[in-house]
Structure 1
Amino acid sequence: MVWLLALLSCFGLICAETPFNVLDDRVIGGSDAKPNTWKWQVSLQFDSYNEGYFSHICGGTIVDSFFVMTAAHCILSMDPSQYRAVVGEYNLSEIEDSEQFIFVEKIIVHPKWVGDLGKGNDIALLKLATPIYDNGFVEIANLPYPGQMLPHDFTCYITGWGSMDHYGSTPEILQVAPINVVEHAICSTPEWWGSIALETMVCAGGDGVISGCHGDSGGPLNCQTDGAWRVHGVVSYGPAGMCNQAYKPTVFTRVSSFMDWMYSVMGANL
């Protein structure tokens, strides 16, 4: 679920020179993550026909025992009963006794999200019906400081169950890959993403090798800053077609730009 932009009506899909598409998939250029490492990673799952069959559509991040952070473009319906958050997940095809399957009680999309990835605000919070409990396989993510920026070429890690190639191959095991930040002054130039790369976004990748892809949307950009792993971004968009295009890095919603909104929402929905 990661991409959109050229055809913003294509739900997360951007065509060649514009951002990616959003519906099913993985990290390109990555490898199997070690079990029980990225404990704040969430598999957001959707029941399209209200038949009790849920499938992975997006990633997410545990930000509180009752809240999951994801991308606004991952919200295909405002009916909470169609979603569940799976935490402690590793292999989507197996029950490993580490998972917690939790239904969603309320969906809160950023009020300035207009369905256009190029205008930003691609962030949403899901309030869970029951709290996540500490079973040794889950953890609440550390977040950045409000307004915190990452320096150019800083190495972070993208994680998710998104497509591993432009053919749509989708591994069952959580994938991880190092990905370097591209500062806004570069990412916003015409050779890169141009004016659709906003200061409220983080660009990372663009080397033509490693990128997020369909199915990674909503998942975390994990960066070790200030002595801890912190989630600095939410996967938002990338190029349509081949996700790992040179000069078209994966674009993330910059979490540090939305801290006040997040704390306000969580405080008001306890």
Structure 2
Amino acid sequence: MIFHLHPLRQIFYLPLLHPRSCLPWMNRFTGLLSLCVLLTSLLLGDQRRIGKRGDLDWTNYYQLGNNSGTYLPSELYPDLSVVGALISSTGALGTATLVAPNYIVTAAHVVKNDLYEIPDPNDWKFYLHDDFGEASSSQIYFIEEIKVHPVWTARQTTSNSLGDGDELGVDLALAKLSRSVSGIYPARLPSTNDDPLGLRAVVGGFGTLVEGDSGNKDPSNDKRVSGENTIDRSVAKVTKLGVPEDQRGGVLGIDFDSPQAQHNTLASGNSVELLGSGDSQATPLTLEASTAVGDSGGPAFVRTLGYWRLHGVVSYGTSESEYGDVTVYTRLASHYDWLISELPDWPDSKIFEGSGWLENPWLGAFVPHSSAWCFHINLGWLYIPFSKGNSFWAWSNLVQQWIWLSDQAYPFIYCYSPSNSFWMYVLLDSSNGQLIRAYNYSSTEWGNYGG
């Protein structure tokens, strides 16, 4: 059986007035304009939604969205404080996720929905709060620069102004914030070969609330809502006739299963357009959820290789947010090289405001200096030519060798030189930046390096 998806490219507009509508000569039209904007909100509100199981209330979905109650960040749940609302001066709404202290990632169609549209950073703000209506000035970030994935723009033509970049898995954009976010770890990215197929995902965004069984909608929500689902499809490179290979991205797919197990759209034997074939369980997860238009740009977090990672960004799917719906995500592992090339050094590190110190989620605390040098709290002075990945080489002043550091191995370190290569285990509690205490697996002895 082959299913066809309805694109979710329309952008919901909040009932906001453009500042120019407040000019004195327009005052007598303000009431009429407000009514028109409100009617527009009501007409488009059903295109901005998140769907939940009809047999549950919204309490747990809200709690997961703000990591309260039993949903604190842990091995079971990601930290969702990195997810915010991206809102334009005209009221266009999307969802975005912090992927570096001063960068967010979203869907390209949120900011560039037309061939001739040039995204203006001054038109957008990022609200980093679990309720964007309650965000304080310190939680609202101006946008300095918008970088749309180049293939998204290349696929927009005069005959197809929107293009087919969503189907090709290139619905992706980065935005640089005018100031950095401090005190939280940005979301971690998956590496190129990191595949979440069959794993549990935590999804979410900001949007109208929909009951999965009845389709009843509540358009008044401005809170971050999160749920869970299973990655039923993972396509590393989309195949579409006539499309050059270098213009093909990747996609992920989830379906919205019902408690009655009667809406398994991505079951074995069902091929859904460019998602292809695969399999899916009919039984829903405890907080099974669907996402759609208003959540465009929203995250799919999956725990892989020991960490929660941002594997997907909401792109398109069916539009009802009821049982059986399918949501398609741009697959970020397919765009790892592009993302890393655009992001600053140490993208997944937390900033301690005013101190100069950063903290990496696996490497620990350090102070970056010029010319790729940094001082690490345990390892001392390190020269790291490339510091954006999940592993990298560094020159250690204390060991006097090149060392290989990896989020999958640290504090196990591989030391390399043409004449002497070995693994060692660093005893972090006894290493202070002036001296490294470590076990050398080559000599099978504990030793001190530096000091």
Q: What TM bracket, shorter-length normalisation?
A: 0.7 to 0.9
State the partner residue of 2:191. 145
Q: Do structure 1's residue 72 and structure 2's residue 117 form an aligned pair? A: no
Q: Which moved more, 1:231-240 or 1:110-119?
A: 110-119
Match of 2:49 among 7, 14, 26: 26
Match of 2:132 among 87, 92, 98: 92
Alpha-carbon deviation of 1:155? 1.3
Closer/same/farther in 2, CA of residues 17 and 67 from structure 1, 3 Å limit: closer
Aligned partners of 1:174 and 1:20: how far apart in 2? 19
- Give yes or no for contact 1:20–1:243 (8 Å, CA) kept in 2: no
Match of 2:141 among 102, 105, 109: 102
CA deviations on 1:54-74 (whole Å, 9 max, x unpaired) are: x46111110111110110011
- Please list every run of at least 4 consecutive aligned residues from structure 1 whose deviation after the TM superposition is greater than 6 angstroms: none
Closer/same/farther in 2, CA of residues 228 and 267 from structure 1, 3 Å limit: closer
The number of equivalent residue pairs is 230
Match of 1:243 among 321, 326, 329: 321
Structure 1 counterpart of 2:226, one-letter code? V
- Give yes or no for contact 2:11–2:92 (8 Å, CA) kept in 1: no
Higher RCO, Cα 8 Å, sep 6+: 1
Structure 1 counterpart of 2:81, one-letter code? K
| Residue pairs, 1:96-135, within 5 angstroms | 100-113=139-152, 114=155, 115-116=163-164, 117-134=166-183
State the partner residue of 1:175. 225
Q: Tell me, what secondary structure is at the counterpart of 1:147?
A: coil
Alpha-carbon deviation of 1:235? 0.5
CA deviations on 1:33-55 (whole Å, 9 max, x unpaired) are: 3435412112111112xxxxxx4
- Give yes or no for contact 2:196–2:234 (8 Å, CA) kept in 1: no
Closer/same/farther in 2, CA of residues 99 and 251 from structure 1, 3 Å limit: farther
Gap regions ≥5 residues in structure 1: 1-15, 49-54, 189-197
TM-score, normalising length: structure 1: 0.76
Match of 2:292 among 202, 210, 213: 213
Gap regions ≥5 residues in structure 2: 13-47, 53-57, 68-78, 113-117, 156-162, 239-247, 258-262, 264-287, 348-451
CA deviations on 1:80-127 (whole Å, 9 max, x unpaired) are: 10001122x0122324x5952111111100000133222320000001
Q: Tell me, what secondary structure is at the counterpart of 2:310?
A: strand
- Give yes or no for contact 1:86–1:99 (8 Å, CA) kept in 2: no
- Give yes or no for contact 1:33–1:173 (8 Å, CA) kept in 2: no
Match of 1:231 among 285, 304, 310: 310
Aligned partners of 2:341 and 2:203: how far apart in 1? 27
State the partner residue of 1:43. 85
Alpha-carbon deviation of 1:131? 1.4
TM-score, normalising length: structure 2: 0.47
Alpha-carbon deviation of 1:199? 6.8
Percent identity between the two aligned chains: 27
When Rg is computed on C-alpha atoms for both structures, the one with the higher figure is: 2
Closer/same/farther in 2, CA of residues 170 and 250 from structure 1, 3 Å limit: farther
Structure 2 counterpart of 1:251, one-letter code? V
Aligned partners of 1:56 and 1:108: how far apart in 2? 18
Alpha-carbon deviation of 1:172? 2.4
Q: Do structure 1's residue 254 and structure 2's residue 290 form an aligned pair? A: no
- Give yes or no for contact 1:221–1:234 (8 Å, CA) kept in 2: yes
Aligned partners of 2:314 and 2:322: how far apart in 1? 14
Q: Do structure 1's residue 156 and structure 2's residue 201 form an aligned pair? A: yes
Alpha-carbon deviation of 1:168? 6.0
Aligned partners of 1:125 and 1:94: how far apart in 2? 25
Aligned partners of 1:17 and 1:231: how far apart in 2? 24
